[in-house]
Amino acid sequence: MKPFLSLRLLLIPILGVGSFLSVSDEEPDREQRARGQYIYAMQCAACHGEEGKATFRGDNVKTLPGIHIPGTDFEIGHRFRGFMATLFTETERADLVAYVKSLKGRKGYEKPEFLIDAIALAPFISDPSARIVDVRNTAEYPVSHLPNAVHLDPAVLNPLPDPAMFAWLMTAIGVGDDTYVVAYDDNGGRSAELFWAVLQEYGHGRVSVLDGGWRVWTAQHRYTTEWQPSKRDVTFTPRPRTYSHIVDTIATAKLALFVDAGQRPSSKHTVSIPFDRHLQPDGAFLPATCLTTLYRQAGVTPDRPVYAVAAHTADAAYTLFALRLLGYPDVRMTSSPHWAVSQAMR
C-alpha cells in the first residue's frame, strides 16, 4: 500500500438505511478494536492523526472525534466507496469501524453521538435526510432561527403525548422514521433534551442535541434566518419502549438513586444536581471528566439504578440525557417523583 493512498481516506457520517459500512450497537471485543487500531495506524493516521486528532488539514480530511456518528450507522464517504472496497476486506472494514467508534470524541463521552457541535452540524443543514428542530418558545422562532430549522413548541412534550399524537407532530415537522434529528434550544438544553428523551421513548434513536444550542451558535456569529423550510412527505412510526420509565416496584425503588436537576430538589431524599452545573460558561456541556466527577462526588455511580426525578419533566430529562451521555447503563426518569421516593423510604 502506497503511503499517498491514506491521504485520500475520508470518513464521514452517512444517514439512511443499509449503509455501505455499518456495525451494530454491540460493543466490539478488544481483539477487533486492536486489529482496527493497527489498520488505522498504518492507513489512516497520516491524515487523521493519532486517535483521530488530525494534524493534516485538507478539504476532505476531518478530525475523527469531531465527526458525528448518528445512531449505529457509520460509512466511508460516497466518493471513496469503490476505493475503500478495494483497499480493505469486509473484515478489515468492520475492524476499522469498531476502532473508530471506540474513540470517545474531544470531550470523552461514552455516547458522543448524543451531542453535536456547530462545526459538525454544518453538512446536515442542507441534508434532506436530516431535520434541525428548534425547541425554543414559539415567539422566538419567526424572528430568527438556524437555517432549515423547523419549530416544535416544547409545551407539547409535557406531559408525554400519546403515540398517535406524537406521530402526527413528527410528521407535521418533517421527521420520519429514517430522519436524523438535531434539536436545539436557548435554555441550556432543557427543552432540546426533553425532545431527545421523548424521541428515545418512542424508539427513534437517530437524534442529537446541539451542544450549547442557540447561545453558542449565535455567539460564534453563525448564519441565522427568518426563512421557514418547506414541508416534507414523511411517515413517523412510534415504537414505544418495552420498559416503563415509572418506578413500578418498591424493590427497584429501594435499590435506586434519585437525582433531581431542578434548582430545588423535589424531595429531601433526592440528590440535587441542578442542570446549570452541567454547563461551561459559554453554555456548552462540560467534558466527561468534569461531569463524571460532578456525579461521583454526589454519590451517583453507574453500579446502581438511577431515576431522574424533578418537579418539571424537562429537568428529569436533563439528568437522563447527561447520565446516558456518560454511559450509565441503568437510567430512567419518572414523572411521579414524590411517589417513587416515598416507596423507597418505606
Nearest to 259 by CA among 246, 269, 270, 268: 270
Q: Which residue has the higher pLDDT, 335 or 13?
A: 335
Higher pLDDT, 199 or 93: 199
- Tell me, what DSSP letter sits at residue 217? H
pLDDT in tens, 85-122: 567 788 887 887 777 766 666 678 888 889 988 888 88
Please say whether the beta carbons of 286 and 279 come within 8 A: yes
Three cell numbers written together for 16: 439512511
What grid cell was written down for 293? 466527577
Q: Mean pLDDT, the chain, as a whole number? A: 76
Each residue of 59-86: pLDDT tens digit? 344 444 333 333 333 344 433 445 555 6
Q: Where are the domains of the chain?
A: 3-103, 114-219, 250-344
**pTM of this structure:** 0.70
Beta strands at 115-116 and 207-210: parallel, antiparallel or unpaired:
parallel
Contact indicator for 93, 21 with CB cutoff of 8 Å? yes
Q: Name the nearest CA neighbour of 294 among 318, 313, 268.
A: 318
| pLDDT at 14 > cutoff 70 | no
What is the average pLDDT across 146-175? 95
User: Mean pLDDT across the stretch 277-304?
Assistant: 91
Give domain 3-103's CATH number out of 1.10.10, 1.10.3470, 3.90.320, 1.10.760: 1.10.760
**How far, CA to CA in Å, does 196 sit from each of 62, 199, 218, 301?**
27, 5, 22, 23
pLDDT at site 254: 60
Fold for the domain defined by 114-219: Oxidized Rhodanese; domain 1 (3.40.250)
Residue with cell 412534550: 157
- Say yes or no: do domains 3-103 and 114-219 share a fold: no
In this predicted structure, the answer to whether residue 221 has a pLDDT above a threshold of 60 is yes
Please give the helix or strand (H or E) that residue 222 lies within, else none: none
CATH number at 250-344: 3.40.250.10
